[in-house]
């Protein structure tokens, strides 16, 4: 049987209105949609009758399927001749393991395409009135994952002293330690921090605090994952801009 194709499709930050036209069209054409927890459930209502939906997402560290299982699901569905949409929150190649999946499938002769998505790392702060760069405030931005708290791959001193905006994804479970590392690396404890929960959606909550008090303030105010953490002086611009949704 002729192999099908796997499309790695970015679902954007949560608001269905920020989904790309190309991605939405592919969802409507797919035989199978393999989706993550962060992909908007409204998108799943756009499939045609008979489309198989496979949930492989995770919440709070609980996995529906491990990455090896997901790779195999995509491979098996494609080899049966189906058009598969692998629907991922944000953009497929930004901490979405889309690159891993594409390499796995290509190495096994599967046709793969990608549809970039609006990344939550940029969109969520923007919609909350926080430009991640501003020529008078910050000329750079570093996007990082909060999971690498104890790993050797992050240079906390360089991050703390870069002067660039830091955008931390998947960082709520390690928020306390990550803020500690930044202060230990030389970042002033009063550096502004914004934590945006469920950004771009009607459930969005925004907490503005500082590095020293970020963890405790989130705990007191019930701010939890999924959330984007923005660290840097650009956070102060929200006071003038307000919500931009």
Helix, strand, or coil (residue 141) = strand
Parse the chain into domains and list their residue ranges.
Answer: 5-115, 120-241
Beta strands in the chain (DSSP E): 5-10, 32-35, 52-55, 58-59, 62-63, 83-88, 111-115, 141-145, 165-169, 192-197, 205-210, 227-231
pLDDT of residue 147: 76
pLDDT of residue 2: 61
Catalytic residues: 36, 58, 170
pLDDT of residue 149: 44
User: What averages of pLDDT result for each successive group of 10 residues across the chain (245 residues)?
Assistant: 87 95 98 91 94 84 80 97 96 95 97 97 98 95 79 82 96 95 97 97 97 98 97 98 95
In this structure, which CATH number among 3.30.950.10, 3.30.565.10, 3.90.1580.10, 3.40.640.10 belongs to the domain 120-241?
A: 3.30.950.10
pLDDT digits (tens, 9 = 90+) for 68-106: 999 999 999 999 999 999 999 999 999 989 999 999 999
Asked if the 5-115 domain carries CATH number 3.40.50.2020, the reply is: no
Distance CA 142, CA 168 (A): 8
pLDDT of residue 61: 54
């Amino acid at each position: 049987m002729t192999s099908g194709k796997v499309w790695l499709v970015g679902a954007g930050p949560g608001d269905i209105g920020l989904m790309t036209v190309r991605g939405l069209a592919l969802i409507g054409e797919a035989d199978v949609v393999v989706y993550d927890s962060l992909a908007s459930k409204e998108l799943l209502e756009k499939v045609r009758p008979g489309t198989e939906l496979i949930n492989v997402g995770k919440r709070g560290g609980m996995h529906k399927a491990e990455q090896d299982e997901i790779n195999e699901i995509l491979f098996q569905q494609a080899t049966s001749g189906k058009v598969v949409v692998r629907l991922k929150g944000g953009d497929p190649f930004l901490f979405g393991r889309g690159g891993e999946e594409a390499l796995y499938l290509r190495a096994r002769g599967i046709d793969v395409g990608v549809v970039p998505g609006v990344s939550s790392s940029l969109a969520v702060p923007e919609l909350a009135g926080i430009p991640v760069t501003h020529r008078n405030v910050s000329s750079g931005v570093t996007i990082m994952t909060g999971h690498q708290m104890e790993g050797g791959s992050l240079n906390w001193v360089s991050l703390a002293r870069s002067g660039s905006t830091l955008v931390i994804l998947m960082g709520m479970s390690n928020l306390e330690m990550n803020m500690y590392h930044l202060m230990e690396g030389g970042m002033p404890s009063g550096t502004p921090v914004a934590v945006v929960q469920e950004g771009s959606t009607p459930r969005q909550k925004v907490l503005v605090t500082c590095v020293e008090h970020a963890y405790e303030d989130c705990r007191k105010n019930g701010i939890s994952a999924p959330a984007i953490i923005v660290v840097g002086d650009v956070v102060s611009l929200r006071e003038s801009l307000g919500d931009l949704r």
